[in-house]
Amino acid sequence: MSDYLRYRVAGGCYFFTVNLLERNNTLLVDHVELLRESVRKCKQKRPFHIDAWVVLPEHMHCIWTLPEGDVDFSNRWKIIKTHFCKGLPIDERRSLVRVKRGERGIWQRRFWEHLIRDDQDYQNHMDYLHFNPVKHGWVDRVSDWPYSSFHRCVNKGIYSADWANGNIDLEVGEFDCRPE
């Protein structure tokens, strides 16, 4: 197994991409309330700030800021994924390896993370995250996707309601993130 090097910063701000194992699945939006509950449970045990989040049918992106002195995003993801799995019936296809290990066949084992470096990097990742439903063809306008912090950002005056209704040039993507 590869040993990934991490650049961890206590209290850092991170961009994440988390995927379902089966990319043709819609579990995340079908069970978005369970996902929200899983995040709330995690935040009760291991607080963090949600800067932004978008949930698509088979993957999600988010930006978190960890508490001062804290670098442990991995266990937070473990809590979220575990709680989500426990709320679903065991009816997914599982490999023999997963069955043998007692693992579910819901999530990809790893996730992608990227340490936000500066204000421009933060803005680029915010834009990428919020534009993602349009990028993947789920909607024509960012404001039409219901499972996004975009609406909260509009209410706070960060984005206009018609932001990115035309073409947008994004300078960020999963390519600069590393698997966890």
Q: Which residues are catalytic?
A: 147
CA distance linking residue 90 with residue 105, whole number of Å: 9
CA distance linking residue 170 with residue 140, whole number of Å: 16
From the list 170, 161, 53, the residue with the least C-alpha distance to 123 is 170
**DSSP assignment letter at 67:** P
CA distance linking residue 79 with residue 38, whole number of Å: 8
Specify the residue for token string 């803005």.
123
